[in-house]
């Protein structure tokens, strides 16, 4: 049982309880070695097993590892004991944006700044195939400098969760912020549903109250479906125009994030070219060097957390085949890219290059679930040592695994040092605590060291 002052995993000193839900508690904690403040989400494994939330927890881990952005709460580390899973996350001490809004409407300039940061974060998530699906002021935190941070990916989903019609079908979210197409249960585009929620949030920031708020839930749903709401008299014409495009009940004609970023009201206050470029780019820009197409650098924790020793799938007693693979290489990024292009040509696959060492390989022939698409991302450990993640982004899983086994793994053998899964697995570090750790030295651990 977690108690204030207790030491978790011989590394974190637990502090006060920050919040709790049905399946998890979040504590303030301090890293004993560095003194850094963190938030630790503690999930009881027994509870999630009973109610079938295994996939949701695994999805949250996958999503938070995918999404690293200045306006998204960062996941530092995932640890596990025999009975619990611990998410070590960025501690955001400014509290929820909801607390600010509950005191009344915000000044237009402040509301716009939060909205700009929200759109930047959501756009980045969507570029990674991640849809939040429960955006609301309670899930938006503020740091000590007043910057917005999107949190709580418990209801988020990945693009690979789409049905054959390309739409999502799980009804979720908070009623007042849910889009008409989610209510209608006919399948929906996750990106367009998130955009609607962003529009409701913008309205709340500027008005101080919800556009759709009826005591009778069915009446409220009727108004949402028809987008029946009124603008306060203090809403400027350009704000009204923008909101009318976002809160459009027709998801097909609803404005896209790209077009939101072009609106004059949205761009106001983004004075520097860097700020505008950051809003419009897929990657957050820290400096000019990030504009170059080079692999993302990994720190020691990234390397270890991506290795087999921190693969949490074994904790949940499931045998589902993985949809991703990772290998290490002693070759340069340029050599790896050329090899992937050569392999794609042999397999008659189309290659699309993206920024930051990312590539997409797409098959030409569609299978039962469409064309098999594979995303490859190269991470730089040193200039001559790289980690490469290869994963399915579309198509039939069995077809993907056959392609990996019969063509891709053999085709890449000249540049591969070690595939994850060929590395040592987990062992118990301390029988009394049942804490899992990496058992032997592996190529990734050697690099981290």
Q: Which of 31, 123, 134, 302 is catalytic?
A: 134
Per-residue confidence (pLDDT) for residue 369, from 0 to 100: 65
Q: In this model, does residue 7 exceed pLDDT 70?
A: yes
Thinking of the domain 7-90, which architecture would CATH place it in?
2-Layer Sandwich (3.30)
Q: In this model, does residue 46 exceed pLDDT 50?
A: yes
Per-residue confidence (pLDDT) for residue 4, from 0 to 100: 67
Give the rounded percent of residues in the chain with a pLDDT score beyond 70.
67
What span, in angstroms and rounded, lies between the C-alpha atoms of 122 and 353? 22
Per-residue confidence (pLDDT) for residue 117, from 0 to 100: 95
Minimum mean pLDDT range among 108-122, 190-204, 207-221, 435-449: 435-449
Per-residue confidence (pLDDT) for residue 182, from 0 to 100: 83
Per-residue confidence (pLDDT) for residue 55, from 0 to 100: 59
Confidence of residue 418 (pLDDT cuts 50, 70, 90): confident
Greater model confidence, 438 or 221: 221
Strands 296-297 and 370-382: parallel
What span, in angstroms and rounded, lies between the C-alpha atoms of 29 and 4? 9
Per-residue confidence (pLDDT) for residue 35, from 0 to 100: 92
Domain ranges of the chain: 7-90, 97-285, 296-448
Q: Classify 154 as helix, strand or coil.
A: coil
DSSP state of 105: P
Mean pLDDT of the chain: 75
Taking residues 144-150, what's their average pLDDT? 91
Helix/strand/coil percent split, the chain, to 5 = 35, 25, 40
Helix (H) or strand (E) holding 159: none
Helix (H) or strand (E) holding 290: none
Token couple for 180: 């008409």
CA angle 302-308-312, nearest 5°?
Answer: 90
What span, in angstroms and rounded, lies between the C-alpha atoms of 358 and 346? 20
Minimum mean pLDDT range among 123-132, 232-241, 437-446: 437-446
Specify whether 134 is catalytic.
yes
What span, in angstroms and rounded, lies between the C-alpha atoms of 176 and 152? 18
pLDDT (tens digit, 9 = 90+) per residue, 268-322? 987 654 455 555 444 443 333 333 345 655 544 444 444 444 444 444 444 444 5
Residues sharing a CB contact under 8 Å with residue 212, sequence separation 6 or more, in sequence order = 176, 200, 220, 223, 224, 228, 229
- Dihedral angle computed from the Cα positions of residues 247, 249, 255 and 257, in that order, rounded to the nearest 10 degrees: 70
Per-residue confidence (pLDDT) for residue 332, from 0 to 100: 85
Taking residues 51-73, what's their average pLDDT? 66
**97-285 and 296-448 in the same fold:** no
What span, in angstroms and rounded, lies between the C-alpha atoms of 76 and 115? 26
If we measure between CA atoms, which residue out of 123, 23, 40 comes closest to residue 80? 40
CATH 3.30.310.80, applies to 296-448: yes
If we measure between CA atoms, which residue out of 135, 131, 116, 111 comes closest to residue 197? 135
Find out whether 51 and 104 touch, Cβ atoms under 8 Å. Answer: no
Per-residue confidence (pLDDT) for residue 365, from 0 to 100: 66
pLDDT (tens digit, 9 = 90+) per residue, 316-350? 444 444 556 888 888 888 888 889 988 988 888 88
Kindly list the distances between the CA atom of residue 192 and the CA atoms of 9, 134, 344, in Å, as whole numbers in the listed order.
41, 13, 33
Per-residue confidence (pLDDT) for residue 155, from 0 to 100: 36
Taking residues 203-227, what's their average pLDDT? 91
pLDDT (tens digit, 9 = 90+) per residue, 351-390? 887 666 788 888 866 666 677 888 888 887 777 778 888 8
Identify which of 4-13, 32-41, 92-101, 233-242 has the greatest average pLDDT.
Answer: 233-242
* The dihedral sign for the CA sequence 283, 286, 290, 296: negative
Instruction: Classify domain 97-285 at the CATH topology level.
Output: Transferase(Phosphotransferase); domain 1 (1.10.510)
Q: In this model, does residue 446 exceed pLDDT 70?
A: no
Cα Rg for the chain, rounded, in angstroms? Answer: 23
pLDDT (tens digit, 9 = 90+) per residue, 251-264? 899 999 999 999 99
Confidence of residue 120 (pLDDT cuts 50, 70, 90): very high
Minimum mean pLDDT range among 102-106, 153-157, 385-389: 153-157
């Amino acid at each position: 049982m977690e108690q204030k002052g207790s030491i978790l995993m011989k590394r974190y000193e637990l502090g006060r309880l920050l919040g709790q839900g049905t399946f998890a508690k979040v504590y303030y904690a301090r890293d004993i070695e560095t003194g850094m403040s963190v938030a630790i989400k503690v999930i009881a494994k027994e509870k999630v097993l009973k109610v079938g939330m295994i996939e949701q927890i695994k999805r949250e881990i996958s999503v938070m590892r995918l999404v690293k952005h200045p306006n998204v709460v960062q996941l530092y580390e995932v640890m596990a004991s025999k009975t619990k899973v611990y998410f070590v996350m960025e501690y955001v001490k400014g509290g929820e944006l909801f607390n600010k809004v509950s005191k009344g409407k915000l000044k237009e300039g402040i509301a716009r700044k939060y909205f700009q940061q929200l759109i930047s974060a959501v756009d980045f998530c969507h570029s990674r195939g991640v849809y939040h699906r429960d955006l609301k002021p309670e899930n938006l935190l503020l740091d000590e400098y007043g910057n917005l941070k999107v949190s709580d990916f418990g209801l988020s989903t990945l693009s690979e969760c789409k049905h054959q019609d390309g739409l999502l079908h799980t009804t979720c979210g908070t009623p007042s912020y849910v889009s008409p197409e989610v209510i209608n249960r006919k399948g929906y585009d996750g990106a367009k549903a998130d955009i609607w929620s962003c529009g409701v949030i913008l309205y709340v920031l500027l008005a101080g109250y919800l556009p759709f708020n009826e005591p009778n839930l069915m009446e409220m749903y009727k108004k949402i479906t028809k987008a029946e709401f009124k603008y306060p008299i203090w809403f400027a014409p350009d704000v009204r125009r923008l909101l009318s495009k976002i809160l459009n009940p027709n998801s097909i004609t609803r404005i896209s994030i790209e077009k939101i970023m072009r609106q004059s009201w949205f761009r106001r206050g983004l004075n520097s070219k860097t700020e505008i470029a950051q809003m419009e780019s897929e990657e957050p820009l820290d400096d000019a060097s990030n504009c170059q197409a080079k692999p993302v650098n990994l720190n020691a924790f990234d390397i270890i957390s991506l290795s087999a020793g921190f693969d949490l799938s074994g904790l949940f007693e499931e045998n589902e085949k993985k949809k991703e693979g990772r290998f290490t290489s002693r070759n340069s990024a340029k050599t790896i890219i050329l090899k992937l292009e050569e392999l794609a040509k042999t397999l008659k696959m189309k290659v699309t290059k993206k920024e930051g060492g990312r590539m997409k390989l797409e098959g030409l022939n569609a299978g039962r679930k469409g064309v098999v698409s594979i995303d490859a991302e190269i991470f730089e450990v040193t200039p001559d040592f790289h980690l490469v993640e290869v994963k399915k982004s579309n198509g039939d899983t069995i077809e993907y695994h056959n392609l990996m086994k019969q063509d891709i793994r053999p085709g890449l053998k000249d540049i591969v040092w070690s595939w994850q899964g060929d590395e040592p697995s987990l062992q118990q570090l301390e029988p009394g605590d049942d804490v899992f750790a990496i058992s032997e030295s592996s190529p990734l651990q050697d690099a981290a060291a």
